[in-house]
Amino acid sequence: FKESHAVKSIMSGLKPAVIGLIASAVLSIGKTALGLDMLEFTINYTFIFSLVIFTLALFLVFKKKWHPIAVILVSAGMGIVAGYIPLT
C-alpha cells in the first residue's frame, strides 16, 4: 500500500489537516494554561517560564534535531520542577 498512488494522495491531503488540528489544540490549551484572555494580557513569571520552555523546545527540535518525544519528556520534567518552585 505504501507505493499506491491513492494512499500517497490521501496522506498528502491529511497532513495539513492534522497539522491544523494539532495547532488548534495547542493554541486552545496554551491559552487556558497561560491564563491569556482576549481582554486582559498580563505578563507574569508563569508566562515567561512557559515561553522559555517553548523556545527551548523549538530550538532542540529544529536546530539540534532532538526527537520530539525526548523534547516532550524534558519539557514535562521542567514543568514539574517549576510547579514546586514558589514564585513570590
Per residue in 4-59, pLDDT (tens digit) is 888 888 888 888 888 888 888 887 777 776 666 554 556 667 777 778 888 888 89
Measured between alpha carbons, how far is 64 from 55 in angstroms, rounded to an integer? Answer: 13
pLDDT at 36: 64
In the predicted model, is pLDDT for residue 72 greater than 80? yes
Measured between alpha carbons, how far is 52 from 33 in angstroms, rounded to an integer? Answer: 15
Chain CA centroid to CA 27, Å: 9
Tell me the whole-structure pTM to 2 decimals: 0.48
With contact defined as beta carbons under 8 Å apart, do 66 and 60 qualify?
A: yes
For residues 31 and 71, the model is more confident at 71
